[in-house]
C-alpha cells in the first residue's frame, strides 16, 4: 500500500501548463467568440478595478482642495458613467460567453468519445487505458470541469496580472522592503497551496478505482437483467454489504482529502494575517507621522489591499491553473495514447474481383492480461479461401479468442496471423475489418430504426434491407409491426415508441445486418444460441446457401450444426485436439464423437 501511494504521489503529468493552454487555445480557434470575449471582458474588468481604485481618492482630493459642488458632481458623474458602461460590457460578455465555452468543452468530449470508439480493440483490455479514460471524462463532464472552467481561471489570472502591474507602480512610492515582504509571504502562501494541491492529482488513481467500483454497483442495481437474479437468489444483503465496503473506502478517501485541505487552509490563513498586519501597520505609522494626506492614505490603503489581493489572485490562479492543467493533461494523454494497431497508412489491402481470402495462424500464443495460462499456445491453423470451417469445444477452450485473433481485434503475444501470406499487422486495421461480416455472442442493438440497424447507416437501401431480412428469416416479423422497417428499437431512448425483440429475433436481425454488409468472410460466433433446434436447423440451411463463394467460420456448442461444414476443428488445452469433417470425426470415435453422442442422447431423452 505504501508503494502504491508513493507511486501515485510521484506521478507527474506529461504536459505542462503552457502546453495545455495552447491546446485549449487551438480548440478555441474553432469557436472564435471564446477568445475575443475573453479579451474584452479582461479589459473591461481591469478598467473597472482601476476606476474603482481612483474614484474615492479623487473625490476626497477635491474635497481637500475645496472644489466647487459642480466639480464634485462632475467627478462623481464621470466615474459613475464609466463604471456603468464598463459593467455593461463585462456583463454582456459574462452572459454570452458560456455557450461558446460549452461548445469547446463538447468538442473535447467528442475527441475523447472518438478515441474510445475508434481505438485499437486490445486497449479495451488495458486497465490503465480505461482508468485514464475515466479521468479524462472527469475533466470535461460538466460546466465546472477544467475544460470549461479554465477560461474563467485565465480571465481572473490575466485581470489580476494587469491590475498587479498597475498597483505595483503605485506601491513603488512606499518602502521597497514592504513590497519585498509582501511578495515573499504571498509566494510562501502559493508554495504551500501548490504543495497541498498536488495531493489530489497524486491520488487520482486511487480515486478512479473507488469511482469505478461505486459506478459498477450503481449500474448493476438498476440493470433489469441483474434485477431478476437479485430477487431470485436473495442477493440484496450481499450486494449491500459490498456497497457499504465501497462507501467506507470512499469516506476514508474523503477524510484524508479533507485533512489535507484543512491543513492547507490553516497555513494559508496564518500567512494572510502576517502579510496584511505588516502592510496595515506600516501605512498607519506613515500617516500618523504626517507623511500622507487623507486622499493619499485612502489611495495607498486601497492600492495596498488591491496589491495583496491581486498577488494572491495571481498565485491562486496559477495554483488553480496548474490543477486544471493536470486534469487536461489526462485528456491529452488519453486521446494521444499510442495505438498498438496500425489504424492509418500501412500496406494497401486490395481484394478485387476474383481475389480470395486465405488465413493462417502460425505458431500463435496469446494470454489475456493478468491470466495465469495462455488461452492459445503455439497454435497453428490454416483457413483456405472459400472454406466453411466449424470451431467447437467446451467453454474456455479459446473459440472466441481464436475469432478475435483472426478478425484482428487482438494481436498474438507471439506468432503471426497472416492474410494471403502477409502479416495482418502490416495492413491498415480499419481496412482489414472490412473483410468481415460477423454475428458475435455479444451483439449491439442501436437505438434507431430496424432498417438503420440492418444497414448500420441513416440512409439504408430499403430493397436491400428487405432482401437481407428475408434471407435471415425475420422479414415477416418486421412487416407485422405498424412501422415495419421504420419501427424503432431501444426503449432507453424511445420508451414509448420502441419495440422489444426476442433473443432469437434479435439474432436474426444481426444476421440480416451481416448479410447487408456482404463481406467476403462470414464469422458466426454462436449465431443460433437463442434459437430452438428447429429454428437453428432453418438458419444453418440458409447459411449453407448464403456462404457459397465466401470463407465462413462458425463457432457452435451444438455439434449437429457442423454437418454442412467442410472441416471441423475441436479446440482444447490451447490447441487443436481433433480436425476433419463431421463424418470423419464420428468414424474416428474420439473426443468429438463422445461429445456428439452426449448431446444426441440429451435431445433423445428430451423427446421421450
Look up residue 489 and give its DSSP letter.
B
Q: What is the pLDDT of residue 263?
A: 76
**Among 212-216, 270-274, 383-387, 451-455, whose mean pLDDT is lowest?**
212-216
Average pLDDT, the chain: 80
533-585 pLDDT tens trace: 666 666 666 666 677 778 888 887 766 667 778 898 888 888 888 888 888 88
Q: What is the pLDDT of residue 550?
A: 82
Q: What is the pLDDT of residue 202?
A: 65
Residue for cell digits 448464403? 546
Q: Which of 414, 407, 400 is nearest to 367 (CA)?
A: 414
274 — pLDDT class (breaks 50, 70, 90): confident
Q: What is the pLDDT of residue 7?
A: 40
Highest mean pLDDT pick, 245-259, 385-399, 415-429:
415-429
83-130 pLDDT tens trace: 899 889 888 888 888 888 889 899 999 999 889 888 888 888 888 888
283-313 pLDDT tens trace: 677 666 666 666 666 676 666 667 777 777 8
Identify the residue with better confidence: 455 or 210: 455
Mean pLDDT of 404-423: 91
Could you list the beta-strand ranges (E) of 351-447: 359-366, 376-383, 388-392, 414-419, 422-423, 436-439
Does the pLDDT value for residue 417 go beyond 90? yes
The answer to whether the CB of 56 falls within 8 A of the CB of 298 is yes
CA atoms of 14 and 564, how far apart (whole Å): 56
Does the pLDDT value for residue 421 go beyond 80? yes
DSSP helix/strand/coil, 332: helix
CA atoms of 497 and 197, how far apart (whole Å): 50
Q: What is the pLDDT of residue 405?
A: 92
Count CB atoms within 10 A of the CB of residue 276.
15
Q: What is the pLDDT of residue 201?
A: 59
Q: What is the CATH number of domain 446-518?
A: 3.40.50.300
The answer to whether the CB of 317 falls within 8 A of the CB of 164 is no
Q: What is the pLDDT of residue 1?
A: 34
CA atoms of 273 and 185, how far apart (whole Å): 10
Q: What is the pLDDT of residue 8?
A: 41
43-68 pLDDT tens trace: 998 898 888 777 777 766 676 667 77
Does the pLDDT value for residue 218 go beyond 80? no
For the chain, residues classed under CATH 3.40.50.300 are 354-435+519-608, 446-518
CATH of range 354-435+519-608; options 3.40.50.300, 3.10.580.10, 3.30.1330.40, 3.40.50.2000: 3.40.50.300
159-203 pLDDT tens trace: 988 888 887 777 666 666 667 777 777 777 777 766 666 666 566
Does the pLDDT value for residue 217 go beyond 60? yes
Identify the residue with better confidence: 151 or 531: 151
Look up residue 360 and give its DSSP letter.
E
Identify the residue with better confidence: 550 or 405: 405
- For 352, list phi and psi in degrees, rounded to 5: -75, -175
Q: What is the CATH number of domain 15-335?
A: 1.20.1560.10
Q: In this prediction, what percent of the chain has a pLDDT beyond 70?
A: 80
The answer to whether the CB of 573 falls within 8 A of the CB of 579 is no
467 contact partners, CB below 8 Å, separation of at least 6: none
414 — pLDDT class (breaks 50, 70, 90): very high
Alpha helices in 456-590 (DSSP H): 462-472, 475-478, 503-517, 533-546, 582-588
**Among 75-79, 491-495, 521-525, whose mean pLDDT is lowest?**
491-495
CA atoms of 102 and 328, how far apart (whole Å): 15
DSSP helix/strand/coil, 119: coil
Identify the residue with better confidence: 602 or 183: 183
Residue for cell digits 459498477? 216
Q: Which residues are paired to 347 by β-bridges?
A: 427
Q: Is 584 left (phi over 0), alpha (psi -120 to 50) or beta?
A: alpha
CA atoms of 318 and 165, how far apart (whole Å): 16
CA atoms of 455 and 229, how far apart (whole Å): 35
For the chain, residues classed under CATH 1.20.1560.10 are 15-335
Does the pLDDT value for residue 344 go beyond 50? yes
Helix, strand and coil in the chain, % to nearest 5: 65, 10, 25
607 — pLDDT class (breaks 50, 70, 90): very low
Amino acid at each position: 500500500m505504501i508503494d502504491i501511494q508513493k507511486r501515485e504521489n510521484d506521478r507527474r503529468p506529461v504536459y505542462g501548463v503552457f502546453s495545455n493552454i495552447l491546446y485549449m487555445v487551438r480548440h478555441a480557434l474553432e469557436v472564435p467568440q471564446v477568445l475575443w470575449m475573453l479579451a474584452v471582458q479582461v479589459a473591461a474588468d481591469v478598467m473597472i478595478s482601476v476606476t474603482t481604485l481612483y474614484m474615492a481618492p479623487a473625490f476626497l482630493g477635491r474635497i481637500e482642495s475645496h472644489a466647487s459642488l459642480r466639480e464634485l458632481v462632475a467627478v462623481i458623474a464621470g466615474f459613475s458613467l464609466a463604471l456603468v458602461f464598463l459593467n455593461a460590457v463585462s456583463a454582456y460578455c459574462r452572459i454570452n460567453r458560456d455557450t461558446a465555452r460549452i461548445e469547446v468543452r463538447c468538442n473535447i468530449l467528442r475527441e475523447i468519445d472518438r478515441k474510445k470508439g475508434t481505438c485499437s480493440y486490445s486497449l479495451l483490455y488495458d486497465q490503465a487505458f480505461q482508468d485514464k479514460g475515466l479521468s479524462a471524462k472527469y475533466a470535461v463532464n460538466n460546466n465546472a470541469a477544467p475544460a470549461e472552467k479554465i477560461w474563467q481561471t485565465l480571465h481572473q489570472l490575466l485581470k489580476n496580472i494587469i491590475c498587479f502591474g498597475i498597483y505595483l507602480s503605485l506601491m513603488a512610492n512606499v518602502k521597497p522592503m514592504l513590497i519585498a515582504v509582501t511578495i515573499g509571504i504571498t509566494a510562501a502562501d502559493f508554495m504551500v497551496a501548490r504543495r497541498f494541491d498536488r495531493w489530489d492529482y497524486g491520488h487520482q488513481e486511487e480515486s478512479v478505482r473507488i469511482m469505478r467500483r461505486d459506478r459498477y454497483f450503481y449500474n448493476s442495481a438498476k440493470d433489469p437483467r441483474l434485477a431478476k437474479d437479485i430477487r431470485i437468489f436473495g442477493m440484496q444483503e450481499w450486494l449491500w454489504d459490498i456497497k457499504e465496503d465501497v462507501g467506507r473506502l470512499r469516506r476514508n478517501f474523503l477524510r484524508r482529502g479533507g485533512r489535507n485541505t484543512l491543513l492547507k487552509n490553516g497555513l494559508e490563513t496564518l500567512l494572510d494575517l502576517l502579510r496584511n498586519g505588516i502592510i496595515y501597520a506600516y501605512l498607519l505609522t506613515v500617516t500618523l507621522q504626517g507623511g500622507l494626506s487623507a486622499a493619499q492614505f485612502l489611495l495607498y490603503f486601497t492600492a495596498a489591499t488591491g496589491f495583496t489581493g491581486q498577488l494572491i489572485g495571481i498565485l491562486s490562479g496559477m495554483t488553480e491553473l496548474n490543477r486544471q492543467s493536470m486534469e487536461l493533461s489526462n485528456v491529452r494523454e488519453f486521446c494521444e495514447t499510442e495505438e498498438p494497431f496500425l489504424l492509418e497508412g500501412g500496406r494497401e489491402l486490395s481484394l478485387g474481383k476474383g481475389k480470395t481470402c486465405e488465413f493462417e495462424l502460425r505458431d500463435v500464443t496469446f494470454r489475456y492480461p493478468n491470466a495465469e495460462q495462455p488461452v492459445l499456445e503455439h497454435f497453428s491453423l490454416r483457413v483456405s479461401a472459400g472454406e466453411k470451417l466449424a470451431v467447437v469445444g467446451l467453454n474456455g477452450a479459446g473459440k472466441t479468442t481464436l475469432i478475435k485473433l483472426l478478425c484482428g481485434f487482438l494481436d498474438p503475444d507471439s506468432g503471426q496471423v497472416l492474410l494471403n501470406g502477409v502479416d495482418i499487422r502490416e495492413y491498415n486495421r480499419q481496412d482489414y475489418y472490412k473483410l468481415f461480416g460477423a454475428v458475435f455472442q455479444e451483439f449491439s442493438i442501436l437505438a434507431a430504426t430496424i432498417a438503420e440497424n440492418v444497414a448500420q447507416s441513416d440512409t439504408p437501401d430499403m430493397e436491400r434491407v428487405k432482401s437481407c431480412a428475408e434471407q435471415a428469416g425475420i422479414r415477416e416479423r418486421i412487416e407485422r409491426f405498424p412501422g415495419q422497417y421504420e419501427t424503432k428499437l431501444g426503449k432507453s431512448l424511445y420508451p414509448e415508441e420502441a419495440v422489444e425483440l426476442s433473443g432469437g429475433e434479435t439474432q436474426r436481425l444481426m444476421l440480416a445486418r451481416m448479410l447487408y454488409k456482404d463481406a467476403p468472410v462470414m464469422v458466426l460466433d454462436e449465431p443460433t444460441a437463442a434459437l430452438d433446434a428447429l429454428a437453428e436447423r432453418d438458419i444453418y440451411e440458409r447459411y449453407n446457401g448464403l456462404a457459397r463463394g465466401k470463407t465462413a467460420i462458425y463457432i457452435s456448442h451444438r455439434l449437429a450444426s457442423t454437418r454442412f461444414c467442410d472441416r471441423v476443428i475441436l479446440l482444447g488445452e490451447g490447441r487443436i485436439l481433433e480436425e476433419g469433417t463431421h463424418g470423419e470425426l464420428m468414424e474416428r470415435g474420439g473426443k468429438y464423437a463422445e461429445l456428439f453422442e452426449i448431446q444426441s442422447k440429451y435431445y433423445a431423452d428430451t423427446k421421450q
